Amino acid sequence: MFDLVMFDLDGTLVETAPEIADAVNDLLRDQQLPEVSEHLIRAWIGHGTRELMLHAYAHATGLEEETVRRTGTLDILMPRFAEFYAVRTGQRSRLYPDVLSTLKALRAAQVRIALVTNKEQRFATTVLMVHGIRHYFDMVVAGDTLEAKKPDPLPVRYCLDAFKLRANRALFVGDSEIDVATARAAGVAVWAVPYGYNHGKSIALAEPDRIIPTVAAVAEAVRASALHASD
């Protein structure tokens, strides 16, 4: 059925919002600014930690986001954020149901597995290592791996090229409209989970090819395809 499955990270494989919120608020307190609610932070996840911090800092200070961009404040804040996030990573995140069993099943079926995330490489790697799943991935394409990130199709096309596969042999699994738009632009099938971070909107509005209760549906589809092929 699929020779390659690409997964998003935050909100798809790992519930990371609590500890991201902790790190953001660590930084805001460090700057003597008011904290931001986890509810808001969940709505900002998806474009990488720099964009998330832009939203949070602008919200806490009351400044326009473009003003914050122009001042170069983020260049000063992000190294400090990295320190806080390094401490917080793994403290309050968790794998979503069926993630580990699904990765094991795909590996057993010799399906290639890639991670395509907008989170920066150092943060993505830490999350994967903390939760013991890094070794399941044949490739990790992070937000700073290439010159463009989701929703640009480049990260998905990069994976397809690396594995020498056509788009119709690949599946993208995510949780947001960003993931759906990325897959559509790259011409690959896209399935979505309903429990992640989609800016407070129902994932149904993004019209993925399929909405699945958990990522276990991916392993089930691969097993069913293998059984059919053996008949």
One digit per residue, the tens of pLDDT, for the chain of length 231 reads 899 999 999 999 999 999 999 999 999 999 999 999 999 999 999 999 999 999 999 999 999 999 999 999 999 999 999 999 999 998 999 999 999 999 999 999 999 999 999 999 999 999 999 999 999 999 999 999 999 999 999 999 999 999 999 999 999 999 999 999 999 999 999 999 999 999 889 999 999 999 999 999 999 999 888 776 665
Q: Are 2 and 10 in contact (CB under 8 A)?
A: no
Residue where the block lists tokens 């001042």? 71
Kindly tell me the sign of the dihedral angle through the C-alpha atoms of 47, 141, 81, 21.
Answer: positive
Q: Who contacts 171 (Cβ-Cβ below 8 Å, separation ≥6)?
A: 2, 4, 5, 6, 188, 189, 190, 191, 218
Q: What is the pLDDT of residue 230?
A: 61
CA–CA distance from 145 to each of 14, 54, 117, 149 (Å)? Answer: 20, 21, 10, 8
pLDDT of 33 reads 98
138 is catalytic: no
> Which two tokens mark 167?
């788009």
At 181, which amino acid appears? A
Alpha helical stretches, state H, the chain: 17-30, 38-44, 49-61, 65-71, 73-88, 99-108, 121-130, 154-163, 177-186, 216-230
pTM for the whole thing? 0.94
pLDDT of 99: 98
Tell how many helices (H) and how many strands (E) occur in the chain.
10, 8
